[in-house]
Chains A and B, each alone.
Chain A
Amino acid sequence: MSDVLLDISGLHIEFPSLERTVQAVRGCDLSVFKGEVMGLVGESGSGKSMTALACLGLVPPPGRVTGSVRLDGHEVVGAPESHNRPLRGGVAAMIFQNPGKALNPFFTIGRQLTDAIAGVRRISREAAGKIAVDALSEVRIADPTQAMHKYPHQVSGGQLQRAMIAMALSCEPKLVIADEPTTALDVTIQAQVIVLLRDLARVHGLAVLFITHDLGVVGSLCDRLAVMYAGRVVESGPVDALFASPAHPYTASLLRAVPALGRGRAALTQIPGTVPNMAEPPTGCAFHPRCPQAQPRCAIDDPMGRETTDGRTVACHFPLAATANGGIAAGSPAA
């Protein structure tokens, strides 16, 4: 039937505490299609990592998850562990931000890859070891047989992240969820990992949900983009359309606030205020206290995500008009 691999709708994640409940995700809607690279952009505390964890049923206690996450046709939210477990690795694999923390320092890279492959695919350790070597060479690690015998501290951060990608790919998932996989890396190494992921996605027809706070990374990797703010997707659509004419004021402000190479010393448009505290999110639209376009209605009425033309959604009462060339490329700061 449809080509939707991951379909998140009305996802809520709350962390109750004694005083007040932190609403990490507040009605997130997002879908990832087969074979596409989807960027999920947001600042710290926007709920992007929690959304990613919810896709695999991995939200830590005492988190309360409601809504729906359908992964390759399986409902993940509320499903028993025995149901979700086979999805991990086999259907969707995850790559974390810090490979040094994701791997166990006491075991060799080879042992950890072999364990994961043997466990997920239910094959012998010997066969799993062969697959591990192949996977390491596929992520362009120079000497894969030797790399198998190394401990995590013996290789560089870039090599470790490649090993993590190898582990994720080795069980032939349909979706890879990558949570800021390049943030801890140097720029030249980050570029290598981005190009690697781009190539692998193309070769394997893999869908990737790529979480980042860096719009530049999205620009060099992704097909579509969803922008999260305060626990909700405020805008989504094809990257080129979104960058050329952002409809949500937050997306537009972000694009003008972040320095980009090639724009010289043009003054940055600053976004006033700070990211809201999710224990007490603002009423109405969560962005309204910082929004240059805010009207009285925005403080009362919470805008729901609306489909617009050409596969875009926007959650704003007063979206910016799409203009042919009035986008960020012109760089005209709002007066």
Chain B
Amino acid sequence: MTALLSVAHLTKHFPTRHGLVRAVEDVSFDVARGETLAVVGESGCGKTTVALSLLRLLRPDGGQVSFEGVDLEGGGDKAEKAWRQRLSIVFQNPYSSLDPRMRIRSIVGEPLITAYGLRGRELTQRVVRHLGEVGLGAEHLYRFPHEFSGGQRQRIAIARALALEPKLLILDEPTAALDVSVQAQVLNLLQGLQKSMGLSYLFISHNLATVENIADRVLVMYLGRVVEEGPVSKIFTAPCHPYTRGLLDSVPSTDLRRRERFKPVRGEIPSALNPPPGCAFSPRCARAGEECRAAPPPLVPAGADRSHACLHPLSPTG
């Protein structure tokens, strides 16, 4: 089985007045057809930069990205346009990602106009179809975004992302801005769409409980690098990397039996302008030794389907 999306050694640096920020450093991953890969990590870990680099909204500084085995690089503008039809994005905040002066028909129809030049009744029919896919009726066609609730707006954003029938959807914290009672509606909708359309998802989130609910595999990032990767069921029950363990132990839970396990990681996320030498997590890590500060540990396989970047991994049996 070849991967749908294949990313190898993706790198993105931002030069700033105060020095170079290595936002994404040597990140590699595959997304298979119909699969959900979650990218998790705290603010500043580079997860959104990865998403924007894939969409070519940012130019990566290095690495290869290929879709269905075809390399993106060197194809020129035409290839890039075709590329953007195969993957699409739903942003975090549906209050800022929908133009308040556009009606829903124009918002969802815009990609169709740009890509295929659809107009008139043909366009309306397509828009109605995509609205139907996200559970909205044709009566909404000529309304403005302010007439909708947060959950409905996120449905509209999803309909717009589906308009060009992409194979991969990037979801950048799609439920973080929604009311808790509405989040489940959007998560269930996304799972239903995946089943019926065979979509792949790249699900970016800092909410581990949501990731466990929706994702097949997970990529844990810390300060621009991948620290652990593998199936959610294995990583969440028996993480190898101390940072993953720390993240999981930091999640507050309604399960009161977990109150004992609730144990925060010490220290703070270091500045990306001045990262610690070696493993970026070493200053906060209880297991770190001298060798951890020498060089960033490479990502090494741990079993058939997972890998981690730690010199002193926790035993995968827990």
- Asked if chains A and B come from one complex, the reply is yes
Residues of A within 8 A of B (CB): 43-44, 156, 158-159, 186-192, 194-195, 213-221, 239-240, 243, 253-255, 257-272, 274-275, 290, 328-329
Chain B, 188-227, CB within 8 A of any chain A CB: 188, 191, 206-210, 212-214
Number of interface residues of B (CB under 8 A): 46
Q: A220 is contacted by which of B212, B259, B266 (Cβ under 8 Å)?
A: B259
Give 28 A-B contacts (CB < 8 Å), ordered by A residue.
A186-B42, A191-B251, A191-B262, A192-B265, A192-B266, A194-B264, A195-B264, A215-B254, A219-B256, A219-B259, A220-B259, A221-B252, A243-B254, A243-B256, A255-B254, A257-B181, A259-B183, A259-B212, A260-B209, A261-B236, A262-B255, A264-B213, A265-B212, A269-B184, A274-B152, A274-B179, A275-B149, A328-B254
Report chain A residues within 8 Å CB of B248.
261
The reply to whether the CB of B305 lies closer than 8 angstroms to some CB of chain A is: no
Bound Cα distance from A262 to B179, whole angstroms: 22
B41-56 contacts to A, CB under 8 A, are 42-43
Among B42, B149, B184, point to the contact of A268 (Cβ < 8 A): B184
Contact of B181 among A195, A219, A271, A328 (CB under 8 A): A271
| Candidates B150, B247, B253; contact of A216 at CB < 8 Å | B253
Option from A194, A217, A254, A264 in Cβ contact (under 8 Å) with B212: A264
Least CB distance from A252 to B in Å reads 12
Task: Specify the chain A residue showing the minimal Cβ separation from B40.
Answer: A187
A147: min CB distance to chain B, Å = 13
A187 and B188 in contact, given A194-B252, A239-B256 (Cβ under 8 angstroms): no
Given A187-B206, A187-B250, A195-B262, the answer on whether A258 and B255 have CB atoms closer than 8 Å is no
Given A195-B264, A270-B188, verify A260-B255 contact (CB < 8 Å): yes
A-chain residues with CB within 8 Å of residue B181 when the two chains form the complex:
43, 253-254, 257, 271, 274-275, 290
CA distance A189 to B264 in the complex (A): 7
Are B258 and A262 interface neighbours, CB within 8 A?
Answer: yes
Contact of B210 among A156, A195, A259, A271 (CB under 8 A): A259
**Of listed A159, A188, A290, A328, residue having the most chain B CB within 10 A:** A188
Q: Does A219 lie within 8 Å of B252, measured CB to CB?
A: yes
Verify B269–A186 contact, CB threshold 8 A: yes
Contact A254 B180 (CB under 8 A): yes
Known: A188-B250, A213-B179. 11 other contacts (CB 8 A): A220-B252, A257-B181, A257-B183, A258-B183, A260-B209, A261-B255, A261-B258, A263-B213, A265-B214, A274-B152, A290-B181
Q: Known A186-B269, A264-B212, A265-B213; judge A216-B252 contact (CB<8 A).
A: yes
Contacting residue for A191 out of B209, B249, B255, B256, CB 8 A: B249
Closest Cβ of chain B: how far from A142's Cβ, in Å? 9
Q: Are B182 and A259 in contact (CB under 8 A)?
A: no
B42 to chain A, nearest CB (A): 4
A261-B209, A268-B187 as given contacts; A43 in contact with B180, CB under 8 Å: yes
Q: Write the chain B residue with the least CB distance to A221.
A: B252
Contacts of B268 in A (CB 8 A): 156, 158-159, 189
Whether A262 contacts B250 by the Cβ 8 Å rule is no
Asked whether, in the complex, the Cβ of B42 is within 8 Å of the Cβ of A213, the reply is no
* B151 adjacent to chain A (CB < 8 Å): yes
B246 within 8 A of A: yes
A10 to chain B, nearest CB (A): 26
| Cβ contacts under 8 Å, B253 to chain A | 216, 219-220, 260-262
Bound CA span A173–B266, Å: 28
Closest Cβ–Cβ distance, residue A13 to chain B (whole Å):
20
